[in-house]
Amino acid sequence: MYSRDGALTAIPFDLERLQATGPPVKVLDDVLTESSGAAQFSFSAAGTLVAVPGRGLGEGVGTPVWVDRRGRVTPTALKVAQYRTARLSPDGTRIVSMRTDVADAGLWVHDLARGTGIRLDTPSRTLGASWFGSSDRVIYQSERPDGWTLAEQRATCSQQETDVAGVRGSGASVSADGRQIADVQTGLKIYSLPGGTMRDIDVVRPNPAGNSRAFSPDGRFLAITADDGARQQVWVHATQGVERWQVSVDGGTMPRWHPNGRELLYWRGRQLMSVPVTTGPVSAPEPRPCCSKAASTPPPTMSAPTGCGS
């Protein structure tokens, strides 16, 4: 039995000859499927099938909305759907996300005002999309026979992808000017573009997820989530040099910078936290709650100095 596009399919198979002996038959629809392609089902020793329903229960299912500092919600034109690891474009008009709740699963770019969307043409399995230095291009992880690499293409139309020269890996975050990429493979590394010149950042147990890192707007600092031995905490590292500062106090994940570079936001459980940041040298006072609206995933991404989005 195998899964495809949220459905389970069974096919008779001869274990001795290692070949199918009949046509495939659909067994069950709407099975929860992760962005990696893994479906949530299993069998008991007696052959009983158990599966987790997928539509309406998966990560990222909901309607993207705007939320201001007072917790007031303004809807977008998008409908309820699955927007996994959604990332807001620099101009605040679109999101790129992974969709596995549609037959044409993959990376989608959605217009927040018009409610429209296009699927990017990706020839293989993809993960972790981000905006590549502007609102015109998208960068993401693309699977290859010899492992994962970073690829990019235009976000305004479906076209052939191109590899990002000199960079291989997964879970990448990109600076605002598109000239730096932070990635976790055997440790946290920063690549300079073009060319892919690499330097290591000394971080113990960095979180490998792509949403666990964010460059400051000027590219001088990198906010990261790392395990301090007791819990996940948010840190700020200099992209040039060895300086680092702990920002969160009692745990934190998924940091985001305000566009003005003077505020850092992150999640502490289901509470969005805010910390004023001074970057010359770096200092961060006690974190405080931001917005009265509790939310889960995906994390808010800032696009305007007066509010936050969810």
Please name the amino acid found at residue 164.
V
Angle (CA) 199-174-236 rounded to 5° is 65
Domain identity same for 241 and 138: yes
* Residue 133 Ramachandran class (φ > 0 left, ψ -120 to 50 alpha, else beta): left
End of a domain among 51, 73, 91?
Answer: 51
Query: In total, how many domains does the chain have?
Result: 2
**What is the span of the domain harbouring residue 34?**
2-51
Residue 56 forms part of a structural domain:
no
- Size of the chain in residues: 310
Position 303 scores a pLDDT of: 46
d(Cα 7, Cα 101) in Å, to the nearest integer?
10
Residues 128, 154: one domain? yes
Within this chain, do residues 45 and 90 fall inside the same structural domain, yes or no?
no
Residue 59 main-chain phi, psi, to 5 deg = -60, 135
Looking at the fold, whether 266 and 286 belong to one and the same domain comes out as: yes
pLDDT at 210: 56
Query: At 254, which CATH number?
Result: 2.120.10.30
Assess whether 65 and 27 both reside in one domain.
Answer: no
171, 295: one domain:
yes
Same domain? 72 vs 110 = yes
36 and 71 belong to one structural domain: no
Residue with tokens 């709740």: 101
Sign, CA dihedral 226-228-231-235, equals negative
Report if residue 192 sits inside a domain: yes
Measured in whole angstroms, how far is the alpha carbon of residue 198 from the centre of its chain? 22
CA distance 269 to 259: 23
Q: Is residue 40 part of a domain?
A: yes
Q: Which residue has the tokens 């000394």?
A: 202
Is the Cβ–Cβ distance between 99 and 108 less than 8 Å?
yes
Based on C-alpha coordinates, what's the Rg of the chain? 21
CA distance 64 to 76: 6
Q: Are residues 149 and 9 in the same domain?
A: no
- Same domain (yes/no): 43, 71: no
- Return the pLDDT at 115: 93
* 5: alpha, beta or left? (left if phi > 0; alpha if psi -120 to 50): left
What averages of pLDDT result for each successive group of 10 residues across the chain (310 residues)?
82 90 88 70 88 62 81 87 83 86 79 91 77 83 78 77 66 77 70 70 59 84 82 86 84 88 87 82 70 51 46
Cis peptide, bond prior to residue 281, ω within 30 of zero = yes
pLDDT of residue 109: 92
* Together in a domain, 47 and 99: no
Q: Are residues 237 and 94 in the same domain?
A: yes
In 10 A of CB 87, how many CB atoms?
A: 23
Any domain includes 221 = yes
The pLDDT of residue 209 is: 59
Contacts of 267-270 with CB under 8 Å at 24 or more apart are: 267/299, 270/294, 270/295, 270/296
Inter-CA distances, 17 with 14, 21, 25, 41, Å: 6, 10, 20, 26
Tell me whether residue 90 is in a domain: yes
pLDDT given at position 56: 43
